[in-house]
C-alpha cells in the first residue's frame, strides 16, 4: 500500500468476520489512503490475532475485541466513518447510532465480489481510480517461479456451518503431487493435520505444518510456495493476495462473491461433465439444511490434479 498523498484526514473503519473477509477489504483501505485518509480500524474479528493481515505503516488497529463497538464520543472525532457490511454485525446497534456523523456504509450484494462491496464507501467519498490490489499486512508479494515445485495446501476452513466448504480429497491429491516429485506443504490448525505413510513421503518432500505455526509464521512460509491449492478459506485469500497461483475448490458457496482475483488463479466447482443444479446454495435455506455435500464429493482428486498440471503448464509456457 503506497502513500500517494498527504494523509490529512482521519477515518474510522469498522470491520469484522474472518481472515478472508479482512484480506478482501484491503483494497478499500488503499483507496481511503489514496483519498488522504489515515484509516484507524475498529476490528471485531471471529479469528483471534487475524488483525495482522491489516497492520502496516498506514493502518492502525484501535480495537480487536469482538464484543465492543466504538463509543459515539470516539467515533465523532473522525472526519469519516466507514462501516463494511460486517463491521457491526452481531450487535444490536440503533439505526441512529451514528446520527450526525459522516457515515459511509458498505453492502453485501451476493451477486458482486466482496471486494467490490467493500469499495462502495470509497466511491461515495470520491474515489475514482481502479480497484487497488489486495495486500497482506507488511508482507510483500514474492517473485513468482512458475517452474517451482513447492505446492502449499490448506484442507480446512472456518468451523461451524462453514465446514460445508471442506473438500475431502486432499489426502489422495497430496499423494498424486508427491508421486510427481513435487514438494507439498500442508498449512492450517492442528485439526487440519494430514498424516501420510512413509511410502508416499519418499517421492516428493512432504511437510505437515498444520498446528506448528502462528498465523504470522504461516504467512511468511506461504510466501515460499510456488502454487497453492485450498478450499474457499482465509488462507486461500492470503495466497491469492500474495500473488501465488491458486486453485480454489468451491462447493456450496458463491464463486462470484469470493473467488480468487489473482490472474494466475482458477476456481474448481465441479468435475467435468456434471454440475449439480443446486449450487451455489449460499444465502438459501439449502445451505443450512443440506447434508449430502454432493457438490464437493463429486470433485475427484484426479480432476483437481489435472487442472493443477494444466495451470502450471500454461504458466510455464
Rounded distance between C-alpha atoms, residue 246 and residue 222, angstroms: 12
Q: Same CATH topology for 9-124 and 150-316?
A: yes
- The answer to whether the bond into 146 is cis (omega within 30° of 0) is no
Q: Give the predicted TM-score (pTM) of the model.
A: 0.92
Instruction: Yes or no: say if 118 and 27 are a contact pair by the CB < 8 Å rule.
Output: yes
How many Å apart are CA 192 and CA 217, to the nearest integer? 16
Characterize the bridge pairing of strands 9-17 and 37-45: parallel
Give the model's pLDDT for residue 5. 59
Say how far apart CA 296 and CA 300 lie, in whole Å. Answer: 9
pLDDT at 2: 47
- 82 close to 32: Cβ distance less than 8 angstroms: yes
Closest CA to 120 of 21, 17, 28: 28
The domain spans of the chain are 9-124, 150-316
312 phi and psi, to 5 degrees?
A: -60, -40
The residue among 236, 205, 232, 195 whose CA lies nearest residue 219 is 236
C-alpha cell at 254: 458463491
Euclidean distance between CA atoms 82 and 11, whole angstroms: 7
pLDDT at residue 156 in the model = 86
CATH class for the domain made up of 9-124: alpha beta
Q: Just give the CATH number of 150-316.
A: 3.40.50.2000
CA 309 to chain centre: 23
Q: How far is CA 204 from CA 103, 180, 186, in A?
A: 54, 7, 13
In this prediction, residue 161 carries a pLDDT of 78
Confidence at residue 140, expressed as pLDDT on a 0 to 100 scale = 92
Helix, strand, or coil (residue 61): strand
pLDDT score recorded for residue 292: 77
CB 201 within 8 A of CB 178: yes
CA 214 to chain centre: 17
CA distance 36 to 54: 18
Separation between Cα atoms, residue 207 and residue 288, nearest integer Å:
35
pLDDT at 79: 95
Secondary structure letter of residue 296 according to DSSP: H
Indicate the DSSP class of residue 67. Answer: T
How many CB atoms within 10 Å of residue 228?
A: 27
pLDDT in tens, the chain (317 residues): 444 556 789 999 999 888 999 999 999 999 999 999 999 999 988 887 899 999 888 899 998 887 888 888 898 899 999 988 676 665 556 667 888 788 888 777 888 999 999 999 999 999 999 999 999 999 999 899 999 999 999 998 877 778 788 899 999 999 999 999 999 999 999 999 988 765 555 677 899 999 999 999 999 999 999 999 999 999 999 999 999 999 999 988 889 999 999 999 999 987 655 667 788 888 888 888 887 788 888 899 999 999 999 999 999 98
Count other Cβ atoms within 10 Å, centred on residue 174: 26
Amino acid at each position: 500500500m503506497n502513500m500517494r498523498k498527504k494523509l490529512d484526514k482521519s477515518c474510522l473503519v469498522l470491520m469484522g468476520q474472518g481472515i478472508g473477509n479482512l484480506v478482501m477489504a484491503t483494497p478499500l483501505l488503499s483507496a481511503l489512503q489514496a483519498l488522504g485518509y489515515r484509516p484507524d480500524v475498529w476490528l471485531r474479528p471471529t479469528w483471534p490475532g487475524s488483525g495482522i493481515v491489516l497492520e502496516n505503516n498506514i493502518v492502525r488497529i484501535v480495537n480487536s475485541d469482538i464484543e465492543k463497538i466504538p463509543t459515539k464520543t470516539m467515533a465523532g472525532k473522525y472526519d469519516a466513518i466507514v462501516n463494511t457490511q460486517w463491521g457491526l454485525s452481531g450487535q444490536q446497534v440503533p439505526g441512529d447510532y451514528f446520527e450526525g456523523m459522516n457515515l459511509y456504509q458498505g453492502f453485501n450484494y451476493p451477486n458482486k465480489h466482496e471486494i467490490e462491496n467493500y469499495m462502495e464507501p470509497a466511491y461515495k467519498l470520491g474515489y475514482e481510480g481502479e480497484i487497488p490490489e489486495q495486500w497482506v499486512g507488511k508482507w510483500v508479494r514474492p517473485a513468482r517461479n512458475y517452474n517451482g515445485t513447492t505446492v502449499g495446501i490448506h484442507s480446512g476452513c472456518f468451523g461451524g456451518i462453514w465446514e460445508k466448504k471442506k473438500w475431502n480429497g486432499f489426502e489422495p491429491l497430496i499423494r498424486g503431487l508427491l508421486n510427481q516429485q513435487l514438494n507439498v506443504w500442508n498449512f492450517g490448525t492442528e485439526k487440519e493435520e494430514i498424516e501420510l505413510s512413509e511410502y508416499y513421503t519418499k517421492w516428493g518432500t512432504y511437510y505437515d505444518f498444520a498446528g506448528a505455526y502462528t498465523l504470522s509464521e504461516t504467512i511468511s512460509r506461504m510466501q515460499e510456495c510456488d502454487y497453492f491449492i485450498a478450499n474457499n478459506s482465509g488462507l486461500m485469500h492470503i495466497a491469492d493476495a500474495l500473488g501465488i497461483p491458486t486453485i480454489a475448490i468451491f462447493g456450496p458457496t458463491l464463486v462470484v462473491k469470493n473467488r480468487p482475483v489473482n490472474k494466475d488463479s482458477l476456481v474448481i466447482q465441479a468435475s467435468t461433465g456434471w454440475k449439480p443444479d443446486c449450487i451455489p446454495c449460499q444465502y438459501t435455506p439449502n445451505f443450512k439444511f443440506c447434508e449430502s455435500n454432493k457438490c464437493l464429493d463429486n470433485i475427484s482428486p484426479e480432476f483437481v490434479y489435472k487442472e493443477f498440471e494444466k495451470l502450471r503448464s500454461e504458466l510455464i509456457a
